[in-house]
Structure 1
Amino acid sequence: MKVTLENIDLKYGDSYAVRGVNAEIEDGQSLVLLGKSGCGKTTTMRCIAGLETPARGRITIGDQVVFDSQKNINVPSHKRNVGMVFQSYAVWPHRTIFENVAFPLQMKKVGKKEITQRVDEALVMVGLDGFQNRGASLLSGGQMQRVALARSLVMRPSVLLLDEPLSNLDARLRDRLRIELRALQQKLNLTCVYVTHDQGEALALGDRIALMQHGRLAQVGTPNDIYENPASATIADFLGVSNIFPVHKNGHPGVYRLADHRLELSTAEYSLDGNAIAACIRPEDVIVTTQRAAGDANSWSGKVKVASYQGAEVRYLIELDDGPSIEALVSRRDCPAAGTGDQVWVNASPSDIQILPAEVA
């Protein structure tokens, strides 16, 4: 079902946790709320679930208005037909998997035959078919998270809310479950709201990403839009762009001088004004060579401080002559024969350098 948030404010005392949030989540769409701890993303999700009461605004799920501050409407959480999966699994270790998943249906007085049918269906969805009678204390972390997911799906929710459900898992299992979660959401055509501080998770799981800062939506777009065109330097930094340098205009179109160094760089045509602007260069867009590239406007010499082998790629930290340190992520096949202490050349295409405001207005 479609979910609409209109002008949502939520305060704790005199401080705003969420302010002026407007968002539309289309039927069957996955929206990821992304941001640092304390930015308001979990609070926004809890407003949808009915676990927090906004000071102002309106929330609609499908055709039902579940919250409206002006009309004094506030539908209780258990009547909103939303499923929620928490960061903590909340699985009872002394009960079987079947008993854990069946619990919300039992609370709703659903008949035993229907409970069995729906629990079996939910366990098939999450890959735990045949585990009905296994004790929950015998489960791995990944299996417990699947039980928590099945317990939400068994309710056949209109909207599924997931609050950093994979953060307690190891990296390889987290990667695998991301793919499984995304496949399941698309197969069931579920409307999902997913909260995370992990940008990789957001890019993998969202049809759209809403990046939150200081209780507000700083930027909303597709994963490709957010990654390729961050709205500010702080957003680019959060998305993993490690090469961010304060710059000033140099008086020539597309030419900027680094604020803390004598180095200049050329970019595509930009008309951004103001003092708080920054040049952003993704590490994967930095080219490292042992000789200067002929005719390249952005070609600087430097010394390798760190060369870190990462399997398919090599990450370099290079201290530029008369300039800052810059990171480069180079394919192993394109990797120059350079180690710590070697002199190299760093090159960046003008089209790969973004000039951004420090913050979203």
Structure 2
Amino acid sequence: MPEHIVHILPEQVASQIAAGEVVERPASAVKELIENSLDAGARSVSVEILGGGSALIAVGDDGSGMTRADAILSLRRHATSKIRSAADLSAIRTLGFRGEALASIASVSHLRMQTRRAADEHGVEVAAEAGNIEDTRTCAMAAGTRIEVRQLFFNTPARLKFLKTLATEQGAIAEAFQRIALANHRIAFRLTADGRTIFDLPRANSVLERFRQVLGPRIASRMLAFDLDRPGVRAQGLAATSQESFATGRMIFTFVNGRSVRDRVLIRAIEQAYQTLIPRGRHPAALLFVNMRHEDVDVNVHPMKTEVRFRNGGAVFDVVYHAIRDRLADQTENASVATSVDTSAAASDALAPSTDDAAMGLITTASMGEDARAGQSANAPGDSVPNPRADAPLRLVPD
């Protein structure tokens, strides 16, 4: 029997294990890269995919960019610009806080990053394969960052084998893209799949306008604005009238401090607000933004940051339930008043400390069906709000 049975894993193996926690499919990589762009202050984000994201994921932005040293360091495990000490974990204020997503993605792909700060004369290009930096050079580019991820999971064939069909992976990417776009209406987004434009979303003036851009004017015209602000918790957003219901919960979107999450407390509060108002077995449409003190919610409970834990779940449930239920009691107000919903994570900072979980379904172009397709013909000639391409190669495929 060997003297030692416990040993330290090689760095490459450890990186691939970490990648499995953070990047389970191409959509996970897309989400992480877009969130990094938003944290960098981007006002415009473009996403390009080929082969369902397995062949290529390219995310470009006009954010702050990085220096040569930071660009190289960003590909190392546990490198981050967003956390300095353990105390920071109790009040996360950024989206991509883990600090290892980029390194994890690089460890299972061929990655090329180009980045430039506005103050720098030239940009820097870093090429890496399986997490190892192969080349660095200067490059000409506009301020911002562009990251290309090619042949995702090329060195982990078992992970590659478990990817689903191209249509399913494209649909998952579109769904992740939609959630982020809905939560950031002041940012312009573009998604292209295999050379075809799926979404082209200019900056919107309101949450309702962005909702219309993404999901079409028919359902948008049936949404009611709600807003309830109580000490420590604010619930605001859009909820469908009781005349609208759906066979599944795919039209329910929930966000906490600007982060898309899956939380049973939130989904139960929304569903119960519609109890007795829609037929049993049917589900509402809702876009919910919960803003609260960062220290009152733990977002570090899941590797992909899609789950949260509330310090006082009962209070959160109560605010969400009454915000929607009370709004449904009077459905006569025109939905066009929904222009002041603040979806930014910074809104939670306004909740002074001294004052007294959600199944996100797969929403793709095809699953939007007649609503989104009708939106393309329903827009007035002067309407600058585009809608998803109805002929995009996306369809809903159950996972």
Mark yes or no: TM-score above 0.5: no
TM-score for both structures, normalised by structure 1: 0.29
Greater per-residue strand proportion: 1
TM-score for both structures, normalised by structure 2: 0.27
The structure that has the greater radius of gyration is 1
